[in-house]
Every structure is written in C-alpha cells, then in structure tokens.
Structure 1
Amino acid sequence: MSEEPSSQSSRRSWLEKLADAFSSELRDKAQVLQLLQEAHENELLDQSALHIMQGAMKVSDEHARDIMVPRSHMVCIEHDDSFADIMKKIVASSHSRFPVLSEDSSTVTGILLAKDILQLAQDYHFDAEKIAANLQQIIRQPVFVPEIKRLNRLLRDFRETRNHMAVVVDEYGGVAGLVTIEDVLEEIVGDIEDEHDPTEEKDIEQIDKEQFRVAALTEIEDFNEHFDTELSDEEFDTIGGYVTHVFGHLPKRGERVVIADLLFTVQSADERRIIQLLVAPASQLPIPLTTTDTSALG
C-alpha cells in the first residue's frame, strides 16, 4: 500500500520536470532528451514512442542534404525516353515518382507519377505513339528546395502542399538530389518497408544498367563473385561489415565511399548497422572521393 503514493509522486515529479522544460523561455534539447529517457526508464514511454519522439526532435537539426538521394543515384526519365523505356524504369525501380530531365539533362523539368502514365496508357489502349504525343499533359511541376532546408520545415511543406517529392538544389541552382516525404518520416519512425522493398532472399538486385542495390548482409564471397572484386573476407563476413570498417564509423544514409573502383552509397541504416547499399562504378562520381586500397585490409 505504501508503494503506490511513492510511484504517483515519482510520476508527478517527472511530469513537472517535463512541463518546466517545455514552458521555459530557453529550451534545452539535451534536457528534454534526458527527460524523455527518464520517462522511458520509469515505464511512461515504451521504446517505440521514445524512438519516435527522439526522431521528431532530430529532424529539426537535419537538412535536406543529409538524407537526399544524390543525383548520381536518381532514377530519372530522360527527355527522349519512349513509353517502353519508361515502363522498364518503373518496373525495375518500383518507384512511384520520377524526375523528368531537360533535353540536355542539366535540370529537372517535371515529375512523372507511375499511376498517371498507367492511366494514360489505358486511355490510349497502350498505343505508344499516342502516349508519347500526350505525355507532357501528365507531367507535373517539380518542387525545388535548397540543400540547407531543415527537415521539420520540409515535412510541414510536404503536408501543406500535399507534395511527396522535392528536387534538392545546391547553392548554384544545380540539381544535387531528391528527397521524399517518406525519407523524412523514416528519420522519425525508422525504416518504412513495403511490399516493393527488396527482401533478404535477393541480396543483389540490379536497378539500372550500372547500378545495383545490395543487402548489407550479403556475404563478401558472393559480392566478389558478382562484381569480380577481391575484397578480403578474413576479418568480415558481410559487405556491410566491410564497408563500415572502411568508413571507420557507423555511416548515415547518403554517405559514400569508393572501394575497389566501386562507389558505395548507404541507402539505409539504423543505430546499429548498415541495412542496404547502392553500388555503382566510381566513374559516376562528378568529384573524386578518397579511395581505399583494399589490399591493405586483408
């Protein structure tokens, strides 16, 4: 009987601390995070709720450039792509939205939704010439955001305008990458998987002519066989472990490194490990990164 008042007093004390933290004129994020951790330890928040609240605070400090898909890994519709070309890209990537490039591929002129072109194809009974003649009618205006756009403001803009994708531009107005509302939400709640995400059974999946999606748990032996490389498997069993070692830290989404003339981009990761990698020839890089001599690792 004596324990209940003590428990209630502890909970009231914690709630008072939280109220003081949010009502204070100068808000200290570190203090709020500490209070949230205490709430979890006092069983007022479960692990999932704690993770979401921590993620929600984190997005106010991150920018579009921190989570964007870099330009070299964007799946785009070229100016002269045929209906067949477009359909191949839709099927291979499983994406629902695609940037449309200008004639010289220097900028993004629109966004094409997979559902729109499928509806157009149905309306014209899959007649390729008629589809091509009417394609511009379904291309939507792109939304551009600067690299330094904060994620909390970007999420608000996505909600207010009902857009799901934005093209990220650098300080010179050039296309740096793209970001989606799902990318922002994943920073808050963690990876969002759907039925189109690659499964562990398919460790290496080709996306386009030179780009592959590779599960971090892929055995190094299998990776070497597929890419004709000679990465050492003496210290690490998986490509994710090998790449993490090369980085020298647990990398975040979007970080890149060149190993054995291949460009590795972290597509997804959590607090403990890399989950998915994008692998392409290092020649896709507009500016060379520091390369790694893999012979020194094994």
Structure 2
Amino acid sequence: MSDDNSSSWSMRGLKRWLSTAPETRDDLLKLVQDSRQFLEPDTVDMLEGVLDLPATQVREIMTPRPQVTAISSDDDLADILAVVLETEHSRYPVIDSHDNDAVLGILLAKDLLPIMRDRLAGKEVALRLADIVRKPLFISETARSDTLLRSLQRAQVHMAIVVDEFGSVAGVVTMEDLLEEIVGDIVDEHDDLNEDSDINNIIPHPEKAGVWLVQAATLICDCNDELGTNFDDTEVDTMGGLVMQAAGAVSDLQGEVVQIGDWQITVVDVEGRYIRLLELELLPNQGE
C-alpha cells in the first residue's frame, strides 16, 4: 500500500473514530489515548498534556520559594549583575528588603541594559528598581493550570508570583513551566544536560552511613518512591512542608529534629524561615 493510500485510510479511520462526540473530559482523554494508531506519538502526548491542565494545580508545577532566585529592593547594580551572571535567568522577582512577603515587581534582565550602556558612556545614572520593574501577577497555588495560562495571556507576562492561602509568597511559575506540562522538558542553552534533579534531590550522606540528604523542596511522593517511605502528602506536598507541619510553631528551625513514622528527620540547612536541606535516618529496629 502506498503512503498516500495509507494516509487516506488513516484519515478515514480517524473520522470514523471521531464520529461520536465525547461527553466528558475523561471520554475525550480516552479518545486521545486510543488514537495512537492514527496520530504521531508526540502529538498524542501533547494533546494529553493539554487535557491534563485543568486537573493540574499551580503548586504542582511552580518553583518553590526556597529555590527562587530573587532580587532585593536595596540591591545595587553590581549586586544584581552578579546574580544575573551566576544564574543566567531572564526574569527575577524583586522582594521588598523590609518585608520578605512583599513582591514589588518582576525585573527583566534586559531592562538593565540601558542603564549599563549609559554608565559605560560615563553618565551618572541612578538605578531605581521601582521605575523599571514590571507589575507582578499573583496567582493562588491551588489555581488550575489552565486558569494560569489565561491569566498570563491576559496580562501579557511570562512569570507569576504564587501565593498560599495566607497570602505569603509560595514560589513562582512561568510560561515555560506550563509548556513543559504540555510538551515535556524544555532544555535551553543554559541547562545542564548532565543534571538529574530527581536523583540529586535525594542522596546518601557522604559521611554518615544509613543517612540520606534530602532537599526540602523534594516532593513527598518522590521521597516515598526513592526511599520506600510512606509519608502522608494529603495536606502538604514537599518534605520541607512535612517537617514544618510536624514541628509546629518553632522560631528557629536550624537543627530541629522530628520523628515521623519510623524516620528521624533533622533540619540541617535553613534560609530565613525556609528549610533547604534535611537529613533522614531510619530509626533502629524499625524495618529492614
């Protein structure tokens, strides 16, 4: 059979397949999944990603606060350029130096170029971040991803500030995060092709046998899969959130130790109010 005849047969088969309109999202998703005999695998994966957006909350795709690189409102040009050169991002939230939960706006790295040009030309130009930052878009961490997409489109921006139920900054989310939900990971010229964040989030302690180092931003489900734990993720998503939930109201989290199930968890690194790194140790006589 020629390619033309095969293509024609596929189109006729697809039309017959679509002759009955799906009544629910699940029906439509099943229809897409069953259409692999007619469509390219990448096309099917993309359609599945689009259909999954309404079922995906913003907090599932955002970058958590501890991993966000931000600019302080009192940083000078040299400080900001050092951050830009180190991280090579194109956008940075600008945080009020007197209030960690007050986002003044989004700084686009390219907006620093006119100031750098004028200073290189010998002109005394002051850096006033309030004059060049873009108005921030805020969105709830429980909002649906398709709602986020429409909000980004309406505001014509590529980054949103994610807030929790108390109005505190929980992280940031970008248009790229949304696209990766649809088409898979997007690798750009700044990404480390050898980096495996899923593995690097959980590693054996280099000096303590039977102890694991776990980044606080690690999803609880990933920790359960990697270490065979059974931590509950119904109320919180990350290991840091799990520890904060267990510790309760503690003013200084550095060195805090909690026991959850068969595991002893120690906070070994914090930044401000945010946990960055944990040690996990299975207690003696608590399993194999």
Answer yes or no: is the 8 Å Cα contact 2:268–2:278 preserved in 1: no
Which amino acid letter does the alignment assign opposite residue 26 of structure 2?
A
Distance change (3 Å), C-alpha of 1:76 and 1:150: same
Equivalent residue runs for 1:82-121 within 5 Å: 82-104=76-98, 105-121=100-116
Aligned residue among 218, 227, 236 for 1:246: 227
**What TM-score does the superposition give when structure 1 sets the normalisation length?**
0.67
Aligned equivalent of 2:117: 122
Distance change (3 Å), C-alpha of 1:6 and 1:74: closer
**What TM-score does the superposition give when structure 2 sets the normalisation length?**
0.69
Answer yes or no: is the 8 Å Cα contact 1:257–1:291 preserved in 2: no
Aligned residue among 132, 135, 138 for 2:132: 138
Instruction: Give the CA deviation at 1:69.
Output: 1.1
Tell me, in whole angstroms, the C-alpha distance in 2 between the residues paired with 1:126 and 1:84: 17
Instruction: Give the CA deviation at 1:292.
Output: 2.9
Distance change (3 Å), C-alpha of 1:13 and 1:158: same
Which amino acid letter does the alignment assign opposite residue 58 of structure 2?
A
Q: Unaligned regions of 5+ residues in structure 1, if any?
A: 204-213, 234-241, 262-279
Aligned equivalent of 1:208: none
Tell me, in whole angstroms, the C-alpha distance in 2 between the residues paired with 1:176 and 1:216: 21
Instruction: Give the CA deviation at 1:95.
Output: 0.9
Instruction: Give the CA deviation at 1:145.
Output: 1.2
Answer yes or no: is the 8 Å Cα contact 1:18–1:32 preserved in 2: no
Aligned residue among 248, 257, 265 for 2:239: 257
Answer yes or no: is the 8 Å Cα contact 2:58–2:145 preserved in 1: yes
Per-residue CA distance 1:116-135 (angstroms, 9 max, x = gap): 11232112328797343x43
Tell me, in whole angstroms, the C-alpha distance in 2 between the residues paired with 1:6 and 1:120: 60
Aligned equivalent of 2:21: 21
Answer yes or no: is the 8 Å Cα contact 1:100–1:112 preserved in 2: yes
Instruction: Give the CA deviation at 1:143.
Output: 1.0
Answer yes or no: is the 8 Å Cα contact 1:33–1:54 preserved in 2: yes
Aligned equivalent of 1:162: 156
Percent identity (aligned): 33
Tell me, in whole angstroms, the C-alpha distance in 1 between the residues paired with 2:279 and 2:123: 45
Aligned equivalent of 1:37: 33
Aligned equivalent of 2:280: 292
Report the number of matched residues.
Answer: 245
Tell me, in whole angstroms, the C-alpha distance in 2 between the residues paired with 1:282 and 1:76: 19
Aligned equivalent of 2:270: 283
Distance change (3 Å), C-alpha of 1:231 and 1:141: farther
Where 2:190 maps in the other structure, the secondary structure is coil
Per-residue CA distance 1:64-104 (angstroms, 9 max, x = gap): 12211111221110122121111111112111100001132
Tell me, in whole angstroms, the C-alpha distance in 1 between the residues paired with 2:121 and 2:166: 40
Tell me, in whole angstroms, the C-alpha distance in 2 between the residues paired with 1:288 and 1:100: 21
Distance change (3 Å), C-alpha of 1:136 and 1:248: same
Q: Unaligned regions of 5+ residues in structure 2, if any?
A: 213-221, 244-266
